[in-house]
Amino acid sequence: MEALGRQILVEYYDCDQSKINDVSFVETALIQAAKASQATLISHNFHKFSPYGVSGVVVIAESHIAIHTWPEYNYAAVDIFTCGETIDPWVIQECLKENFVSQNVSSMEMKRGMFKVPEGQKLLFKPSSEYQSN
């Protein structure tokens, strides 16, 4: 069995409240983490809630990084989903831990898109040009 992707669900506890409530800081932190992992940036969109909290997503060619923060609890929830084997999602997780000054992190990795592939063949992360949908 081979997987199309890896998804890491991360919970950052005891973060710096001012950092995870600053939409510009959170946006920059996610973009920097994506770049540190050598991911290919496609787009990004972030929103600041009132009175506090930030949600956002960075779309990468390899999938996405999404975040929701609860500054009132010094907590951030992050979803790091990558496909292929060109980037390491754990690099993203570690960069965000440092940027948010998180004192406690809980992470869980899941394999996504599990397929049985004939021996000697590899699972294609992007269909070949001959691919046609039915």
Annotated active-site positions, please?
Answer: 63, 68, 83
**Kind plus residue range of the DSSP H or E element containing 5:** strand 2-13
Helix, coil or strand: residue 28: helix
Torsion of CA 56, 3, 125, 120, to 10 degrees: 170
Helix, coil or strand: residue 130: coil
**Kind plus residue range of the DSSP H or E element containing 94:** helix 89-100
d(CA 33, CA 130): 34
